[in-house]
Structure 1
Amino acid sequence: MQVLICPDKFAGTLTAPEAAAAVAAGWRDRAPADELVELPLSDGGPGFVDALAGPTGGRRIAVPTVDPLGRPVGGEILLVDGPAGRTAYVESAQACGLHLLTPTERDPKHTTSYGLGVLLLAAVEHGARRVVVGLGGSATNDAGAGMLTALGTAVLDVAGYALPYGGAALAGAHSLDGVPRLRGVELVAATDVDNPLTGLHGASNVYGPQKGADRADVLLLDAALERFAGVLVAGLPGCPAEVAAWPGAGAAGGIGAALLALGGRCESGIDLVTGLIGLPAALDAADLVISGEGSFDHQSLRGKVVAGVAGAARDRGLPCVVIAGQVATGRREASAAGVTEAYALVDHFGGETGGGLEQALARPADGLRQIAARLAGQWSR
């Protein structure tokens, strides 16, 4: 039996490769003769570079950068040479990720995307003609203003002074100064978030609370991003007049809007990753698919990794089993998306009242291994 194992990360506990390895180990415990194919995935968020590095054969270059609060942190770019020239893959979460901050440090009024600009500059300096930026898992809500500053385009107030970092300061944005040092590279935003920059479904309203914003902060940030959108339109030649309303503009706290304003375009992160790593061919050869993520909920069914995998499996008539830290999706919705069965680590460890949540967070690899072994007993020939 050939089993395809293609999970996303389990946010805060396991990377996608670690999750895939745990599932594979559990399956081998029970059915060692089966053929297992591990293809860890990402939709553009944390783990984007890890998912692409092996299958593309690209070269990883370490790049010192800064985190959302301006502290030194290690990043990297992935360089892949092809017939059309060199492509660089950059993961925004390495510099802007929510996982880089403690819960008490999370405040999107002050966090910055400056570190992502440092990674983009490194990609340009290494000769990339195309830069694909994985967006997701960010702690920022500054619409890429920090990124633009690192690229050489400062955001100024009405008196001509540079604004401090963070989304809140953009309420005073008046103009841009300087030309982005991109040397004409093609920009692609890899994301499966279709939110606009502002409004009820915008970056601040939808994602601000999980980054530390209260209701007053959300209103302040949304108004600040609306003002900054006007500055982008006026200050960057070729910026779409309605950039704030474009799907994907709200990705990663509005970094999507800045990339669109620079002439970039949005592409589906999961489609891009699956195409590069050869997921379609692996699905064609599989008998069973196992995917997973930290929380399998309603957001999972809107273009996330699990939805992409399950839909592709369904189209081929393949069973798809999901293992997640928690499952908050109904059977009917999951089945319609192509999910045959879904299992939660929390339930495996005894439910939340029985300490299951604590155990799921403390021993996710053990739980994945144990559930996978049980699945092997049920599914293996």
Structure 2
Amino acid sequence: MHVLIAPDKFAGTLSAVEAAEAMAAGWRQQAPDDEVVTVPMSDGGPGFVDVLHAALGGELLAVTVSGPFGEPTPATLLMHEETAYIESAQACGLTLVPEKERDPERATTYGVGELVAAALDAGARKLVIGLGGSGTNDAGAGMLAALGATAKPEGALRSGGAALADLTEVDLTAARARLAGVEVLAATDVDNPLLGLRGATNIFGPQKGVQDDRRVVLDAALERFADLSDRPLADAKGAGAAGGLGYVLLLLGGERVPGIETIIDAVDLNAHARRADLVLTGEGAFDFQSASGKVVSGVAATAGEAIRPCVVLAGRVLVGIREMRTMGVESAYSLVDLVGADRAMGQPRESLVALGARVARTWSR
């Protein structure tokens, strides 16, 4: 039997690479004669570069950039021929800041701009920037500053979202010149606009630490920035991704593409699925959000096109059979149901190995 294992990360516990290896180890324990192929996945958030490096090869470039509050932060970008793959979360990710210290009103995307500059210095003519898992809400203004954009008052672009309320002028000339002739793709799993009830601040701000009574204020600050840059573009799909990083990439001439489709094409998942008898995928929480451009739905759709069954292994399964079938998932198995919440979080790899073996007992020939 040929089994394809293509999971996302299990947020907070296992990377996509680690999750795929654990699922494979469990399967091989139970069915050692089966052929198991691992293809770790991502939708543009944390793990984007690692997944692409595992699939494409290429050269990893280590750089030090500014973190969300200006602290030196190690990051890595992937150069494959003349294309640079950048994971924005490495410079402005929510996981870089302890929960009690999160402050999206001050956090900046300046480090993302430094990553872009490093890629350009390395000769990149195409940038694919994964958006997801950010701890920022500055509409990408910090990234613009790192690429040479200026504003009045001076320094407002790199001081976080709240500082944008004081803007009187924005000049994008230098940043646009820096990216002249370079193709830019913003790979994201969301299509929210920058502003309003469905925008970056109101939808994603609370999980980053934006207080309810500050949402209107911060949204207005981003609107001020948009008014001085390109207000109609703020309504574009994906402009609200990664706290508004999507907006700035569109502002610089970029194009928004679904993150999962970017990975599916890069790893040639369609070909892998056609060779498989069964496709396994997984993530930390298999819930209603999984249907919206996430790895599980993308892998399930690919399996469906190849007429192969798709099974999900997840930390928690929070959808019913009807919702699963709508996504093209045959069955789903929960770590918490098998080993309990404490062990699932405390021993994630061992727990996922056990779940992989459990699934193999049911599905292997």
TM range (shorter): over 0.9
1:73-222 alignment, distance < 5 Å: 73-81=73-81, 86-157=82-153, 162=156, 165-177=159-171, 179-180=174-175, 181-222=178-219
> Corresponding residue for 2:241?
251
Distance apart, 1:163 and its partner CA: 5.2
Indicate yes or no: 2:26 matched with 1:26.
Answer: yes
Q: What secondary structure, in the 3-state scheme, does the structure 1 residue paired with 2:314 have?
A: strand
> Corresponding residue for 1:58?
58
Deviations 1:150-204 (A, max 9, x none): 11113323xx664561111111122124511334322110112100001111111
> Corresponding residue for 1:341?
331
> Corresponding residue for 1:236?
none
Indicate yes or no: 2:316 matched with 1:321.
Answer: no
**Distance in 1 between the 2:356 and 2:160 partners?**
43
Aligned residues: 362
Structure 2 residue identity aligned to 1:345 = L
**Distance in 2 between the 1:346 and 1:210 partners?**
23
**Distance in 2 between the 1:292 and 1:174 partners?**
47
**Distance in 2 between the 1:31 and 1:313 partners?**
21
Distance apart, 1:268 and its partner CA: 1.1
1:239-318 alignment, distance < 5 Å: 242-318=232-308
Unaligned runs of 5+ in 2: none
Q: What secondary structure, in the 3-state scheme, does the structure 2 residue paired with 1:127 have?
A: coil
- Percentage of matched positions with identical amino acids: 54
Q: What secondary structure, in the 3-state scheme, does the structure 2 residue paired with 1:149 have?
A: helix
Spell out structure 1 runs of 4+ moving beyond 3 A: 160-164
**Distance in 2 between the 1:163 and 1:257 partners?**
14
Q: What secondary structure, in the 3-state scheme, does the structure 2 residue paired with 1:220 have?
A: helix
Unaligned runs of 5+ in 1: 234-240, 351-355
Q: 1:147 to 1:54 in 2, by over 3 A?
A: same
Q: What secondary structure, in the 3-state scheme, does the structure 1 residue paired with 2:313 have?
A: strand
Structure 2 residue identity aligned to 1:367 = S
**Distance in 2 between the 1:281 and 1:305 partners?**
17
Conserved in 1, the CA contact under 8 Å of 2:3 and 2:280? yes
Distance apart, 1:359 and its partner CA: 2.2
> Corresponding residue for 1:71?
71
Deviations 1:63-122 (A, max 9, x none): 1112111111111111111xxxx1111110110111111111112111110110000000
**Distance in 1 between the 2:271 and 2:157 partners?**
49
Q: What secondary structure, in the 3-state scheme, does the structure 1 residue paired with 2:14 have?
A: coil
TM-score normalised by structure 1 residue count: 0.92
